[in-house]
Structure 1
Amino acid sequence: MSPQLDAVYLILALAFVGVTLFFRKKRALGFLRGPPAKSTLLGHEFDLLNAEACTLELEWTKRYGTVFRSAGCYGEQILMVADPRALQHIYEMNYKYPRSKDNQRAFKKLLGRGILWAEGDDHSRHRKTLNPAFSAAQSRGFLPLFQNCTDSLRGRWEAALQGETNVINVYDWLSRLTLDIIGEGAFNYRFGALDNKSDDFSHILETLFTDTKMPTERTILFRAFRRSMPNWIGDLCDYYATWFPSKEDARFANFQKFSKGIARGLLDEHMAASADYAAKKDILSLLARSPAIDDPKKKMDEDEVLSQMATVILAGHDTTAASIAWILYELAKRPEEQAKVWEEIAHVRSLNHGELTPADYDSMPFLNAIIKEGLRYHAISPLLYRNSGVDDVIPLSQPITSSSGDVITEVPVRKGQRIIFCIGSYNRLPEVWGADADSWNPARFLTLNQKKQIPVGLYGNTLTFSSGVKGCVGWNFAVLEMQAVLFQLMESFEFSMPPGVEVMRIMGAVMVPMIKDKLQEGIKMPLLTKSRK
C-alpha cells in the first residue's frame, strides 16, 4: 500500500472497537468445527492468501469435513464450503448469494461495470447480451482462428529451438497466444502479442497483479475494514484512492483506461464499417447495438459496453493460458501420457487429411480426459467469495461432526454470512473423484460415471468454470480453444521438466506458476521443449 494510505489506517484503528463488535454479531458458526486462529486481528486470511494455493483449505477439508468454519479478520467467522450438495444448493439460489462487497469493488476498479461486477438484475441483463456470442455453435466458428494462431506459435518455437532441446517459458508464450486469439476472435483486433507488437499492453498485463499476489497484513486488514463498513464509507475510501492510489489501484486504473481506450476505438470503427451489425451475433455487434435496445432487460449503457469489452480481453486470455500451462506442466512429468496423446493425434490425422473439426477433437478420449483432469487438479480460481443474501438452511451430501460432537446433515446460515467456496477442495474430494482424488490421473475420466455424481459443474462436473447463473459465459469457447492448442503443441513438441526446477502454485487473480526461491522473477513455467521434427 502507498504511504498516503496511513491516514486511512488511523481511521481503521479508531474504528477497531466498532468493527470488532460488528463482527462478533456475525459469529454464528460456533457449532461448526474449524482450525484455531493464530491471530484475532488477521484470523486465517493472511495465511490463506499467502500459502501455496489450495494447500491450507485442502488440509482443513480433510481434517474438519466438507463444511467448516475459518477465522476472518477482527474475529469474523467464515463458512468454508466444499460439499457438492451444499454448493449445488447455493448455485441454484442464483442471486441470493451475491459476491462479497470487496470482490465487487475490486472488479469495478479493474474492469468497470461489466459482468464480473454485476449482481442481480444487472447481471441477468449483461448475461442475456453475452450468451449468444459464446454459445457452442458460435464458438465452433472460431476454430480456424485457434488453429492458425497456434500454428504461428509453433513456427516461432521451432525457429527458436533450431532442432535443439531448450527451456521455453511456456506461460509467457501461452499468454501472448490467448491474447491474440481473444483479440481477433471477439473484436477482430490484432494485438500482435506473438509478434511482440503489443509491448505496452503486454507489460500492463504482465504486471497487473504484481501487488495482488501475497497481500500484506495491512492490505488484508484494510480490505476487511472496508468490507464491514456501510457502502458510503467504502465509496469514500474509493474516492480517497483516486487521489492517493495504492500500487494495485494504479495498475488496475491503468489497465481499465488502456483497455477501454482500445474498446472505444474498436466499437466506433465497427459501427462505421459494418452496416449489418444489427443482425449479427458476434460479440462486437451484440455490444454495439445494446445501448440502442428499447428493452430495459437487455439494454446496456456505453460504460457497461466498454467494461464488458475490457472484461472479455482479460478473462478471455489469462484463465485459458494458465489452464493450458498447468496441463503442459503435468504432461512434462509424464512422457507416457504424452505418448498416449500422440497416438490419438496420429490416429485422427490418419482419418482426416483436411482441417480438423470440433468433432475430431471430441473423438479423442484421452486428450479430453487430460483437459478435464487439468481443470480439476489445477483449479485456477480455487477460492470464490460470496455472502448469503438471505437466511437459509444449506443441505449437505454427507453428514459432518459438529463442535459438540453431534452429527449434522444441514447448516443454517444467517443473512450476511460470509462464505468461501473451496473449489480446489471440491475438485479433490475422494467422495466425488475416487480414492486417488489428490493425485493426477486423467484416466479417471475414461471410467468415471458422472451420473452417480451430484451435478454441479459446467464441464466434467468440475467447478473450475464455476456454475449457476454466474458460471463462465465463455466456457464452450475456452474448451475448444484448449483442445485446438494442446492438439497442435503435443503434435509438434515433446516436453520435460528442467532439472532442479520446483514450480509453486501462487494465487493472484488466477492461480499462476512461479519458481520456488525465485518468486521475484514473476510468473514462469519453464519447460524443456523439443521439436518432434
Structure 2
Amino acid sequence: MASLIILALSAGAIALLWTLFKSYFTRSPLDNIPGPARTSFWRGNQGDLFNRFAWEFHDGMRVKYGPVAKFYGPLGSRGLYVFDPKALNHIIVKDQMIYEEPRWFLSSNRMTFGPSLLATLGEHHRRQRKLLNPVFSINHMRHMTPIFYRVVHRLKDAIHTQIGEQPTEINMLEWMSRTALELVGQAGLGYSFDPLTNNVRNAYGQALKDLQPIQLELHHFRVLIPYVQPYLHPAVVRFLSHFLPSRSMRRYRDIVNIMDKQSRYIYQSKKAALEKGEEAVVQQIGEGKDIMSILMKANLEASTEEKLPEEEILSQMANLIFAATDTTSNALARILQILSEEQDVQDKVRTELLDAAARDEDIPYDTLVGLPYLDAICRESLRLYPPVQALSRETREDIVMPLSEPIQGVNGESISEIPVPKETTIFIGVRASNRNKALWGEDADEFKPERWLSPLPKAVGEAHIPGVYANLMTFLGGGRSCIGFKFSQLEMKVVLAILLRSFKFLPGEKDIYWNAGSVNFPTIGKEGTKSAMYLKLERM
C-alpha cells in the first residue's frame, strides 16, 4: 500500500513538473519569430519588461526587431510584442473576444476595485459601458466645462500664492495630481476631495499616487493571483493581509481599504440625495450633472436585465477615480515640462489662448476644443509620450495573426501570418505604434506639434490604426477603449488654458527622470523613488 502511495505521489510530482517546465522542452509556433534572448531562466524577459528603467528594452523591441517580436515569459513561455497595424486591428477590434485581458490583470483589478470596467469581460463589460457611455458624450462635456473652470481657478490662485518676485520652483506633479483628483471628484462623483490650498494633503490622493509604484513592485505576485484566487475567499485574503511580511503588500492592502471606504461613503450620500428627490440632488457639488449621479439615476431607470447591482456601481467609482487621476495628471505634467523646455512653443500657444479670450475670462467649450495649436500640442505629447506605454492581452484559443507586411523569420523565411497558440501573452506596443517610423516618418521620435497642422502622412491614414483618438493607440480602441478620453482631453485643455495665461513655465533645478510603470511617472533623478516633478514658475 505504501509503495502505491509513493508511486501516486511521484506520478503527481512528475505531472506537476512537466506542466511547469514543458515550455522549455517543446517547440512553439513562435520560435521562428525574431526577438531578444531570455535574461532569466525562470522569468524570461519579465524583468526587462516590468521595471522602472525599461525604456531601452521597450524601444529596442521596436527599433531592433520591428512590428512583431517574440519575448520570453516565465518558465519558458513565449509571447509577442506587437505594433503591426493589421495585427493590432485583429487584436483590438476583429478578434477582441479571443485576445482578452490577461487573467492576472482582471483578477488584480477585481481585488483592487471590485467588478468594475477594468475587471469584467464580454456581455458583462458591455452592459457596464452602455450605462456609462452617455455621460462621456460631447454634449455632456459642455455641461461639465463650468465645473472644470471653477476647480482650475482655485488651482491658479493656490499656485499664485507660492510664487515670489523671482521665478519659484514648484512641484507641479503634486499640483496636477491634486487637481486631477478634484476634477474627477467634482465632475465625476459630485464630491470634493481637495480644497486646493497650500497646506492641505489628501489621504485618498496620496493613496492613488502610491498605488502605481506599488503595483509595479508587486507585479510578479499579481501574476500569481489567478492561480490562488479560486481557493481563497476574499474575506480570507483580507484577514491574511494583516500578517503579510511585505511592507509593499501591507501598503497595497491599506490603499484598497481607503478607496473602498471613501467610495462607500460617497455612494451612500448620493443614494440618500436621490431618495429625497431632485432638489436634494441639485444641491450637491456636481448639481446632479456629475457622472455618478447620472449613472445611478440611469441604473434606477434601466430594465432588469441591464441594471447593475450596487456592488458594481461602487466599483465603478474607485475605477473612475483611479483611471482619471494618474494618467491625466502625469500627461499634463509631461506637457508642462516640454513647454518649459520649448519656450517658442509655449509662447505660441499662449498667444493663441490670449487671442481666444482675455486673461481672466473662461474660453467657451467650443472655442477651446477648436484651438488648433493647443490641440496639436496635446496630440503630439500624447503621441510621443503616452502615459501607458504597453498593454497586455492573452489569447483564449489558438488563432492566426495576420500582418501588414511580411517579416523575416529566424530561419530566413518570409512570414505574413503567425499561428498564435492559446494562452499566449500579447503586448500591444502603444508607444511603439505611436512612434512607428514607417507610418509617421523619420522624425517620429521628435516633438513636432506642427505635424498636426497639415495633413498627416498618407501612410498613417492607410494603416487604419484601431485607436479611438487621432490615429494613435494612446487611448486604445475597440470595445475596451478608454471610455473617458474626451473627459481627459477637456481636463487637459482647461488646465493649460488657465495656467499658460497666468504663468510662464521654466525648467527647474532638479533633474527629472520619467519611470516606466503601468502609468509612467516622474521622480527627482533616476535614483528617486517618490513621484515628483519640479518646474520654475513666473507670474505673467
TM-score w.r.t. the length of structure 2 is: 0.87
Bigger mean CA offset, 149-158 vs 264-273: 264-273
Which amino acid in 1 is paired with 2:493? Q
In structure 2, the CA distance between the partners of 1:441 and 1:16, relative to structure 1 (3 Å rule), is farther
Which amino acid in 2 is paired with 1:329? Q
Residue of structure 1 in register with 2:356 after alignment: 348
Residue of structure 2 in register with 1:139 after alignment: 141
Given that 1:362 and 1:368 are in contact with CA atoms closer than 8 Å, whether structure 2 keeps it comes out as yes
After TM superposition, give the deviation of residue 464 of structure 1 in Å.
1.3
Work out the CA distance in 2 between the residues paired with 1:333 and 1:347.
Answer: 23
Unpaired runs of 5+ residues, structure 2, are 1-12, 283-287
Q: Secondary structure at the match of 2:321?
A: helix
Work out the CA distance in 2 between the residues paired with 1:297 and 1:470.
Answer: 21
Given that 2:35 and 2:61 are in contact with CA atoms closer than 8 Å, whether structure 1 keeps it comes out as yes
Residue of structure 1 in register with 2:253 after alignment: 250
Offset from partner CA, 1:127-161 (integer Å, 9 cap, x none): 00100111111112111121221111111111110
After TM superposition, give the deviation of residue 294 of structure 1 in Å.
5.9
After TM superposition, give the deviation of residue 349 of structure 1 in Å.
2.2
Which amino acid in 1 is paired with 2:158? R
Residue of structure 2 in register with 1:440 after alignment: 447
Bigger mean CA offset, 184-193 vs 352-361: 352-361
Work out the CA distance in 2 between the residues paired with 1:366 and 1:146.
Answer: 21
Alignment equivalent of 2:196, drawn from 194, 197, 218:
194
Same amino acid, percent of matched pairs: 27
In structure 2, the CA distance between the partners of 1:341 and 1:284, relative to structure 1 (3 Å rule), is same
Bigger mean CA offset, 267-276 vs 385-394: 267-276
Residue of structure 2 in register with 1:4 after alignment: none
- The question of 1:413 aligning with 2:420 is answered yes
Residue of structure 2 in register with 1:422 after alignment: 429
In structure 2, the CA distance between the partners of 1:54 and 1:84, relative to structure 1 (3 Å rule), is farther
Given that 2:106 and 2:119 are in contact with CA atoms closer than 8 Å, whether structure 1 keeps it comes out as yes
Which amino acid in 2 is paired with 1:445? W
Work out the CA distance in 2 between the residues paired with 1:529 and 1:297.
Answer: 53
Alignment equivalent of 1:298, drawn from 283, 289, 306:
306
Offset from partner CA, 1:449-502 (integer Å, 9 cap, x none): 253442321221111111111101111111111111111111111112124x33
Work out the CA distance in 2 between the residues paired with 1:306 and 1:226.
Answer: 22
Work out the CA distance in 2 between the residues paired with 1:377 and 1:404.
Answer: 34
Q: Secondary structure at the match of 1:464?
A: coil
Q: Secondary structure at the match of 1:530?
A: strand
Given that 1:208 and 1:255 are in contact with CA atoms closer than 8 Å, whether structure 2 keeps it comes out as no
Given that 1:53 and 1:511 are in contact with CA atoms closer than 8 Å, whether structure 2 keeps it comes out as no
Question: Pairwise mapping of residues 91-130 of structure 1 onto structure 2 (< 5 A)?
Answer: 91-92=92-93, 93-130=95-132
In structure 2, the CA distance between the partners of 1:55 and 1:141, relative to structure 1 (3 Å rule), is farther
Work out the CA distance in 2 between the residues paired with 1:248 and 1:238.
Answer: 18
Residue of structure 2 in register with 1:387 after alignment: 394
- Output the aligned Cα RMSD: 2.8
- Asked which structure has the greater CA Rg, the reply is 2
Bigger mean CA offset, 93-102 vs 114-123: 93-102
Residue of structure 2 in register with 1:46 after alignment: 47
Given that 1:270 and 1:284 are in contact with CA atoms closer than 8 Å, whether structure 2 keeps it comes out as no
Alignment equivalent of 2:516, drawn from 507, 522, 526:
507
In structure 2, the CA distance between the partners of 1:437 and 1:257, relative to structure 1 (3 Å rule), is same
Given that 1:366 and 1:442 are in contact with CA atoms closer than 8 Å, whether structure 2 keeps it comes out as yes
Work out the CA distance in 1 between the residues paired with 2:209 and 2:299.
Answer: 32
After TM superposition, give the deviation of residue 437 of structure 1 in Å.
0.9
Question: Pairwise mapping of residues 205-224 of structure 1 onto structure 2 (< 5 A)?
Answer: 205-215=208-218, 220=220, 222-224=221-223
Residue of structure 1 in register with 2:174 after alignment: 172
Residue of structure 2 in register with 1:284 after alignment: 292
Work out the CA distance in 1 between the residues paired with 2:148 and 2:43.
Answer: 45
Q: Secondary structure at the match of 2:357?
A: helix
TM-score w.r.t. the length of structure 1 is: 0.89
Work out the CA distance in 1 between the residues paired with 2:434 and 2:237.
Answer: 40
Work out the CA distance in 1 between the residues paired with 2:265 and 2:330.
Answer: 24
- The question of 1:402 aligning with 2:409 is answered yes
After TM superposition, give the deviation of residue 55 of structure 1 in Å.
3.0
After TM superposition, give the deviation of residue 281 of structure 1 in Å.
7.2
- The question of 1:482 aligning with 2:492 is answered yes
- The question of 1:271 aligning with 2:274 is answered yes
In structure 2, the CA distance between the partners of 1:367 and 1:374, relative to structure 1 (3 Å rule), is same
Which amino acid in 2 is paired with 1:267? K
Offset from partner CA, 1:365-386 (integer Å, 9 cap, x none): 1111110011111111111111
